Amino acid sequence: GAGVSQSPSNKVTEKGKDVELRCDPISGHTALYWYRQSLGQGLEFLIYFQGNSAPDKSGLPSDRFSAERTGGSVSTLTIQRTQQEDSAVYLCASSLGGRGLFNEKLFFGSGTQLSVL
């Protein structure tokens, strides 16, 4: 597609349920990032995928969070046993990859607003 696509746009769930958030990066982009944006906060790095390399999962806040990227394209962020503190906007971004963030532009999706009741 023309841009980074995220679905759903909004998700309301009950505490304890699992949720899956999807990101479709720009075709040909090898780098993919997930960020969490809590109310009144800047973006918090969650995970980074680059091509076929092992992902950098150092930003995932707990073992309830996991992400995968199938075929080097679509990525899914899964949150198990959701808690109220997981409520936030989850943003995905992609870039051509491999040249550093100054040399290549990051393209962001519009995010998924997750609300855990």
Peptide bond into 25 cis (omega under 30): no
Q: Which amino acid is at 16?
A: G
Q: Would you say 17 or 105 has its CB closer to other proteins? A: 105
Interacting residues with other proteins (CB under 8 A) = 31, 33, 40-45, 48, 50, 56, 59, 89, 91, 93, 100-102, 105-106, 108-111, 113
Separation between Cα atoms, residue 50 and residue 55, nearest integer Å: 7
Minimum gap (Å) between residue 95 Cβ and other proteins: 9
Question: Residue 4 or residue 14: which is nearer to other proteins going by CB?
Answer: 4
Report in angstroms how near the CB of residue 16 gets to other proteins at its nearest. Answer: 26
Residue 48: count of CB within 10 angstroms of its CB: 19
Q: Residue 104 CB: number of other CB atoms within 10 A?
A: 14
CB of 78 to other proteins, least distance (A): 21
Q: Which residues does residue 6 pair with via DSSP β-bridges, in sequence order?
A: 23
CA distances from 50 to 10, 27, 87, 109 (A): 27, 14, 27, 18
* Least distance CB 93 / other proteins (angstroms): 7
- CB nearer to other proteins: pick between 1 and 42: 42
Whichever of 41 and 84 has its CB closer to other proteins, that residue is 41
